[in-house]
A and B are shown apart, each in its own frame.
Chain A
Amino acid sequence: MAVSDSLRATISRAKRNDLIFVALGIAALLFAASTFVALFLDMVGDGLSRLNPSFFTEFASRRAERAGILAAWVGTFAVMLVTALVAVPIGVASGIYLEEYAPKNKLTALIEININNLAGVPSIVYGLLALGLFVHTFGLGASVQTAGLTLALLILPVVIVATREAIRAVPGSIREAAYALGATRWQMVSDHVLPYSMPGILTGVIIGLSRAIGETAPIVTIGAVTFIAFLPPSPVTSSPPFLSFDWLASPFTAMPIQIFNWTSRPEEAFQANASAAALVLVVMTLLMNAIAIWLRYRLRRNLNW
């Protein structure tokens, strides 16, 4: 019959369109994944030959084949330490305040809008803030502490949002039980809510740090030196008090800056160095991200309130 024929045609066309869209979706996914693979293979192809132990133990050099990333990875490590020590306490405290303490008023709304807006501010603007405020107003110089503080401000929204989400997932009954036993608000938070939300917070912190480790624009803007052939002074000294904080004020270079510097050189030999350093940086960030994803996955599986 004519009606059922046209109906059948409509149905088969609709089914075909569904299939076409699925193919499109998979193609989009493959496009994203293949970019990732191409990027990785490109770096491995160009840079693997440079990845020998001396690459990690040599300073930058004018001779490409002798140059290494010692100052860069030590600098990155020192900056990340400062970033974590500043961003984690402030970020977690802000998250606790907003979830457990904040009354619903204008001040709270203002804080929330600010956090949301800061998350979208381009990273280079943080660099300008640091250049104007930390370097020229506070006189901290283009040092480890300036870079650490700048990146800490940059990842603060990430840490705050992660903390809030983790705290929000803790059921209210836990809080009520703590109050029922006479706990104060802070006892309730520190003894019950925080331990339960710790994995979630940790995930956010790792993701934030993995973002900070690859950030180039803000630390280029504060004027980090690109050619450094010394390490920051050691935090441990041989004479009392055995601890030194001179490394905080030391000039530094970092992995992304080293890569940027090598990328800007015309010689092909430096390009190999850039790809080797980029490979190291990507492996660092991927590892951090993988740990975060794994943590979250485990967290989701083990949670049943």
Chain B
Amino acid sequence: MSQAPAAGRLAHRRSRHIRERIIELVLLSSALVAVATTIGIVFILVKESISFFSQVSIVDFLTDRQWTPLFSDPHFGIWVLLSGTLTSSAIALSVAIPVGTILAIYLSEFASARMRETAKPILELLAGIPTIVFGYFALFFVTPLLKKIYPELPGFNLLSAGLVMGVMIVPYISSIAEDAMRAVPMSLREGAFAMGATRLQVALNVVVPAAFSGLAAAYILGISRAVGETMIVAVAAGMQPNFTFNPTEQAATITAYIVQVAKGDLPHGSVGYQTIFAAGLTLFLLTLVFNLLGYYLRKRFREEY
């Protein structure tokens, strides 16, 4: 063999190697976009919140019972907005958790394969409906319906927003919960059936306890969803800050407040502009805790069996 082709092959291999390294670096930098996004979110929220808290004390922020940032006598009590968020979320979860759990148990333990094949796409379609449309539905369909039962209900109220939000979260909870229950090994069920247990007994006494961390993850991620939901409450619950836990009143949630302020034209750098970042930081921290907890629980049920 002559030397030239060998050297050529060597050069070819080297260029191939360099090309491979470049591709790997490009792929890695794409993956780092996710990290950069988180850093960007934290940076922006913290930066604007720092200038906000240099003018408003944290103690006032956490204890004041009024939220009137745009008045001449401004008050910044985040609990006013939190009360709306917590009330609407509680209503939503009181619908979504029972319905979602029953649905998940039914689909995982009782339904025939054909039933499941029909039901799951329906649930997915329900999950795919834009939240602004749900908001429209809450304001113009559910509220008038509720008014027939309870005539004093105001046009904007936390109740109808919460109920519709609950329906929106049902598919989300049921799909995670069903995943968790299907991950329970068949042998556990077979053991229980062999002891003479009925389907319901197997479902409630064997499958549900075994899938418990997955169910907990589903609920926690559902809570995080409800707390962060924006358009339904912005459209149907009104945008007036109101310190209340009464579902028949109107109130602004954290998210609705952000929408309301962002829709107007607040000058960049004003305290009013900074409030939405302080509110956003509160929201982000709240959902972060739920998300990390949910992530940890979900990982656990995946590893259990």
The distance in angstroms between the C-alpha atoms of A127 and B283, with both chains bound, is 13
Q: A236 at the A/B interface (Cβ < 8 Å)?
A: no
Q: Which residues of A from 202 to 238 have beta carbons under 8 Å from B?
A: 207, 210-211, 213-217, 220-223, 226
In the complex, are the beta carbons of A124 and B16 less than 8 A apart? no
Given A185-B20, A256-B132: A25 touches B37 (CB 8 Å cut-off):
no
**Interface residue ranges of B52-70 to A (CB < 8 Å):** none
Determine if A117 and B44 form an interchain contact, defined as CB atoms under 8 angstroms apart. Answer: no
Q: Contact at B130–A285, with CB atoms within 8 Å?
A: yes
Task: Name the CB-closest residue of B to A13.
Answer: B198
Q: Which residues of chain B in 240-266 are interfacial with respect to chain A, using CB atoms and an 8 Å cutoff?
A: 255, 258-259, 262-263, 265
Interface contact A38-B44, CB-CB below 8 Å: no
Q: A67 an interface residue at 8 Å Cβ cutoff?
A: no
Contact of B35 among A110, A211, A216, A263 (CB under 8 A): A110
Judged by a CB distance under 8 angstroms, whether A275 is at the interface is yes
The total number of A-B Cβ pairs within 8 Å is 271
The interface-forming segment of A28-36, A51-59, A243-251 is A28-36
CB nearest neighbor in A for B32: A111
Report the bound CA distance from A28 to B122 in whole Å. 13
Known: A21-B200, A36-B122. A121 touches B105 (CB 8 A): no
Q: Does A295 sit at the interface, judged by CB under 8 A?
A: no
Residue among B34, B119, B121 with most chain A CB within 10 A: B34
Decide if B122 touches A216 in the complex (CB within 8 Å). no
Determine, out of B2-10, B134-142, B181-189, B208-216, the stretch whose residues face the partner at the interface.
B134-142
Q: Is A299 an interface residue (CB 8 A)?
A: no
Q: Given the interface contacts A93-B27, A156-B37, A263-B235, does A214 sit within 8 Å of B130 by beta carbon?
A: yes
Residues facing A in B126-177 (CB within 8 A) are 126, 128-137, 139-141, 167, 170-171
Establish whether residues B34 and A111, one from each chain, have CB atoms under 8 Å apart when the complex forms: yes
A93 in contact with B31 given A117-B288, A285-B129 (CB within 8 Å) = yes
Contact B105 A94 (CB under 8 A): no
Q: Note all chain A residues with C-beta closer than 8 A to B102.
A: 21, 24-25, 28
In chain A, positions 111-146 with a C-beta closer than 8 Å to chain B are 111, 113-118, 120-129, 131-133, 136
| Contact residues on A (Cβ < 8 Å of other chain), bracket | 35 or more
- Within the assembled complex, what's the spacing in Å between the Cα atoms of A133 and B280? 14
Partner of B277 from A111, A121, A132, A293 at Cβ < 8 Å = A132
CB pair B30–A214 under 8 Å, yes or no, is no
- Which residues of A lie under 8 Å from residue B199 when comparing CB positions? 18, 21
Of residues 75 through 91 on chain A, the ones whose CB sits less than 8 Å from some CB of chain B are 89-91
Known: A125-B228, A281-B133. A32 touches B140 (CB 8 A): no
- Indicate if A15 sits at the interface (CB-CB under 8 A): yes
Tell whether B11 is near chain A: CB-to-CB under 8 Å. no
Q: For residue A124, which residues in chain B have a CB less than 8 angstroms away from its CB?
A: 228, 230, 255, 258-259, 280, 283
Is the beta-carbon distance between B136 and A123 smaller than 8 angstroms? Answer: no
Q: Which residue of A lies closest to B48 (CB)?
A: A132
The answer to whether the Cβ of B82 comes within 8 Å of any Cβ in the partner chain is: no
* Interface membership of A26, Cβ < 8 A: yes
A113 to B253: give the CA distance in the assembly, Å.
28
Per-residue CB contact flags for chain B residues 181-205 toward chain A (1 = under 8 Å, else 0) read: 0000000000000000011110100
Asked if B26 is at the interface of the complex by the 8 Å CB criterion, the answer is: yes
B103, B121, B125, B134: the one contacting A29 at CB < 8 Å is B103
A165 interfacial by beta-carbon distance below 8 Å:
no
Question: Is A36 a contact of B126 with CB atoms below 8 Å?
Answer: yes
Answer yes or no: A157 CB below 8 A from chain B CBs. yes
What residues of A have a CB within 8 angstroms of the CB of B294 in the complex?
Answer: 120
Q: Which residues of A contact B229 (CB under 8 A)?
A: 122
Contact A125 B41 (CB under 8 A): yes
- A107 CB, nearest partner CB in chain B, Å: 9
* A26 to B234 Cα, complex, angstroms: 32
A194 within 8 A of B: no
Partner of A118, one of B19, B34, B122: B34
**What residues of chain A lie closer than 8 Å to B135, measured between beta carbons?**
260, 263
Given contacts A32-B99, A93-B27, A215-B130, contact A120 B221 (CB under 8 A): yes
**With an 8 A cutoff between CB atoms, is A286 at the interface?**
yes
Residue A184, interface by CB 8 Å: yes
Alpha-carbon gap, A46 to B133, bound state (A): 13
B34 and A15 contacting across the interface, CB-CB below 8 Å: no
Task: Give Cα distance in the complex from A128 to B41, angstroms.
Answer: 8
A289 x B124 contact (CB < 8 A): yes
A31 to B125, CA, bound (A): 14
Among B28, B37, B229, B258, find the residue whose CB has the most chain A CB atoms closer than 10 A: B37
Interface residues of B (CB under 8 A from A): 16, 19-20, 23-24, 26-28, 30-35, 37-38, 40-41, 44-45, 47-48, 99, 102-103, 105-107, 110-111, 119, 121-126, 128-137, 139-141, 167, 170-171, 198-201, 203, 221, 224-225, 227-231, 234-235, 255, 258-259, 262-263, 265, 268, 276-277, 280, 283-284, 287-288, 290-292, 294-295
> Would you list the 5 A-B pairs with minimal beta carbon distance, nearest first?
A214-B130, A122-B228, A25-B106, A93-B30, A132-B44
A-side residues, CB < 8 A to B, are 14-15, 17-18, 21-22, 24-26, 28-29, 31-33, 35-36, 38-39, 42-43, 46, 89-91, 93-94, 96-98, 101-102, 110-111, 113-118, 120-129, 131-133, 136, 153, 156-157, 160, 184-186, 207, 210-211, 213-217, 220-223, 226, 256, 259-260, 263-264, 271, 274-275, 278, 281-282, 285-286, 288-290, 293
Given A38-B137, A120-B224, A123-B230, 9 further pairs, Cβ under 8 A: A18-B200, A36-B129, A98-B31, A114-B37, A125-B284, A186-B24, A214-B131, A217-B131, A221-B259
